[in-house]
Amino acid sequence: MALKGLDIFKLSPKKNCKECGSPTCMAFCMKVAQGAVSIDKCPYFSDDAKA
C-alpha cells in the first residue's frame, strides 16, 4: 500500500525551506504521495525515511 501524504509528512524534516520547490513540507509530501515529484527533491529527507 502506498503511503499517504500525511504519512510521508510525519517522516519529513518539517523545515519548510522551499528548496524542493514547494511552499511547505506538507505541500511537498502531498505531491510525493501523488507521484508528481520524487522524494529525492528534498535534500533533508534522511535515507532511513526514504526507504
Say how far apart CA 7 and CA 42 lie, in whole Å.
16
| pLDDT at residue 1 greater than cutoff 80 | no
CATH number at residue 30: 1.10.15.40
Torsion of Cα atoms, 13 then 19 then 24 then 30, to 10°: -80
- CB within 8 Å of 10: residues ≥ 6 apart: none
Q: Evaluate if pTM is beyond 0.85.
A: yes
Task: Return the percentage of the chain with pLDDT > 90, whole number.
Answer: 84
Confidence at residue 42, expressed as pLDDT on a 0 to 100 scale = 97
What is the tally of structural domains in the chain? 1
DSSP assignment, residue 21?
A: S
Is residue 43 within 8 Å of residue 19, measured between CB atoms?
A: yes
Supply the range of the domain harboring residue 46.
5-50
Q: How far apart are CA 42 and CA 50, in angstroms?
A: 10
